[in-house]
Amino acid sequence: MKLVRYGAPGREKPGLIDAEGRLRALGALLPDIGPAQLGEAALARLRRVRAESLPIVRGAPRIGCPVAGIGKFVAIGLNYADHAAEAGMPVPREPIVFMKATSCIQGPDDAVMLPKGSKKTDWEVELGVVIGTRARHVARKDALAHVAGYCVVNDVSEREYQIERGGTWDKGKGCDTFGPIGPWLVTREEVPQPQRLELWLDVNGRRMQTGSTRTMVFGVAQIVSYVSRFMTLEPGDVIATGTPPGVGMGMKPPVFLKQGDALELGIEGLGRQRQAVVAFKP
């Protein structure tokens, strides 16, 4: 299934994308798509629904983040060896874990706002993993059973804040609008091989990132297992699993986002995002 939330920010309604790519309303069957709707039993009930029996949503409503009530937005750094090389950093021996603020989460096509005074805002297309059932010290062989599905994430990053301002990476990762997620949550049964997905990102129509989850240093199952050792992963938590090479920081000379730029990015089978880059607004 491709689950989606649509409507104005803060007033999104649940829906799904049918086999013909049409948006259909789920509001008569469930209040939202959040932690309570991501467990195995809840998803099994949804799978039994005939999509053609649901009303088609007319027009072109805004698409929001496909998951409501995200408790934790976890991210993995330097998880592609060639991205670590372009960043001038060693390939990590264990996953690098950091947090993105949940206040940065937004819809896939909402504008990306440059932080006040920012000069080094960058892009990162990433595979997002959405947790469906609680994961605490889970074994790698069992980890994928705790996943509800997958989505596209743009891990927007301010590199000066992240690297040059001391402390952890978090301050360059959680600025407002730095977490576009979606357009859909594609449930696990439709992504049987999460390590065989192609990723890409364009800036102003120019291809910047091309990669595959085949080249991850740590695969999805290993990441879920590893993170669950240090924090309990709850339904609705999202993990961004790292980015392939082609970020602005790695170019010679570096290239960063500016007002008026246009981003487009996607992952095979998981949809695409489009964002305009806008100036800071108080």
When divided into structural domains, the chain yields a total of 2
Judgement on whether residues 232 and 143 belong to the same structural domain of the protein: yes
**Averaged pLDDT in 10-residue chunks for the chain of 282 residues:** 98 97 97 97 96 96 98 96 83 95 98 96 98 98 98 98 89 97 98 97 98 96 98 98 95 96 98 98 92
Quote the pLDDT of residue 168.
Answer: 84
Give 30's contacts (C-beta < 8 A, 6+ positions apart). Answer: 14, 37, 42, 46
Query: Can you give the residue range of the structural domain that contains 188?
Result: 73-278
Specify whether 45 is located in the same domain as 96.
Answer: no
Residue 128 forms part of a structural domain: yes
| Same domain, yes or no: 49 and 79 | no
CATH code for position 121: 3.90.850.10
Same domain membership, residue 11 and residue 119: no
Q: Do 80 and 166 reside in the same domain of the chain?
A: yes
Query: Do 99 and 16 have their domain in common?
Result: no
The pLDDT assigned to 85 comes to 84
Residue 67 lies in a domain: no
Alpha helices in the chain (DSSP H): 40-47, 81-86, 140-143, 159, 220-230
Give me the pLDDT at residue 86, please: 83
The reply to whether 186 and 257 lie within a common domain is yes
